[in-house]
Amino acid sequence: MPHTVIETPLEQDSARYDVAALRREFPVLSREVNGKPLIYLDNAATSQTPQPVIDVFSDYYSRYNANIHRGLHTLADEATAAFEGTRQRVKGFLNAEDARQIIFTRGTTEAINLVAQSWGRTQLHPGDEVLISMLEHHSNIVPWQLLAAERGFTIKVIPVDANGALDMDAYRELLSERTKLVAVNHVSNALGTINPVKEMTSLAHQFGALTLVDGAQAAPHQRVDVQDIDADFYAFSGHKVYGPTGVGVLYGKKALLEAMPPWQGGGEMIDTVSFDAGTTFAAIPHKFEAGTPAIAEVIALGRALEWMEGVGVEAISAWEGVLLDHATQAVSQVDGLRILGTAPNKAGVLSFVVDGVHAQDIGLLIDQLGVAIRTGHHCAQPLLHHFGVEATCRASFAAYNTLEEVDTFVAALNRVIGMVR
């Protein structure tokens, strides 16, 4: 594949973003699919993993596989130090004030459910309102619906405009003294829209409401500063930031986390347990980390964030912007293709439909040409129904994608459309 280099504002000594060198760190990118070089454009679902992150698993299981926090032997000490080292790295990655504000979960979905079941179950009552947006992933809709059915509060939905941007005037009108929580994504997984979460948080706080930000699609693509946003809760997943599946993060403000009851009970999250006197709980973050965690995965998450910082989060964001602009211009020339989500502030997601062609047919056939995209409702059915479609094709970009891959993808797309029309 040609060597692609772009000038970007890196924080490192060099101002050159070397895609070819970066790609060599990803073993999967060298494979073929159906006899064609793999072009992986399903990064909004799961990003690929560089070799340094993959190596963490072999290193952990071959050298210091042990449970954490509980043992006094050398292996337990080493595993604990590596695990807690990731907590410190996440603190820096999000610019949190205190590492104790970082809770490890199985992913963004579990993080949101933790807030719903711990904070929400104790703080939400009939007459209260929770605001979510039309842009939300199901993981930031269903937990609130389940809890609302039990607790009797009301869910209200912030609408979007024709470009897929949030209607901020409508948001301001929805806010009231009854609003207790605003739960929104930072970046839409289905459209790529970047929401003004700092402004939304400021407005919510004026009414005494808290904010929960689903950062699953933001953390891989841009610098996240939870203190600047002033979010009360912020969540993201490991498998979208070049790390492993099965691990994620919930950040929360310290006072909130300390006041919240545990969600799950078991080992690690206790201080004392007695049949007579009952149970007292550990301090944060351990109060919310019951049982043996995904130790290797957490350590690998730390290595993935280290890798991102080494490349440069700003550099990744700038390069993905180049890819998105190039792809948007290219697919706009495809006959009968309509892009969903044309907000002026977008991340590297390109969602589209083609007149007379089912999205699933495009996905299946383009895979035969070695191109991996996502088709379907993207766990955002209310949003797609709002735009009058059941499914879209979605190409989403990452640090290792190239302009040449975009061109190959568009050529393959044209070929597939010609086959099925």
Residue 165's CB is within 10 A of a number of other CB atoms, namely 21
Give long-range contacts, CB 8 A cutoff, 24+ apart: 78-85: 79/295, 82/299, 82/302, 83/293, 83/295, 83/298, 83/299, 85/299, 85/302
Q: How far is 16 from 6, CA to CA, in rounded Å?
A: 6
Least Cα distance to 243 among 393, 53, 15 occurs for 53
| Choice among 45, 146, 372, 379 that is catalytic | 379
Report the amino acid identity of residue 231. A
* Burial of 110 (C-beta count, 10 Å sphere; 0-12/13-18/19+): buried
Beta-bridge partner residues of 36: 33
Q: How far is CA 43 from CA 80, 90, 378, in A?
A: 31, 21, 12
* Beta strand spans in 319-413 (E): 337-340, 349-354, 371-372, 374-376, 392-396
3-state secondary structure of 273: strand
Structure tokens at 46: 């799961």
Least Cα distance to 190 among 226, 173, 214, 174 occurs for 214
Q: Which helix (H) or strand (E) holds 213?
A: strand 210-214
Q: How far is 78 from 272, CA to CA, in rounded Å?
A: 25
- Phi, psi dihedrals of residue 137, rounded to the nearest 5°: -70, 150
Beta-bridge partner residues of 234: 213, 251
Query: Which residue matches tokens 């309102």?
Result: 129
Residue 169's CB is within 10 A of a number of other CB atoms, namely 10
Residue 393 annotated to the active site? no
Q: Which residues are catalytic, by number?
A: 379
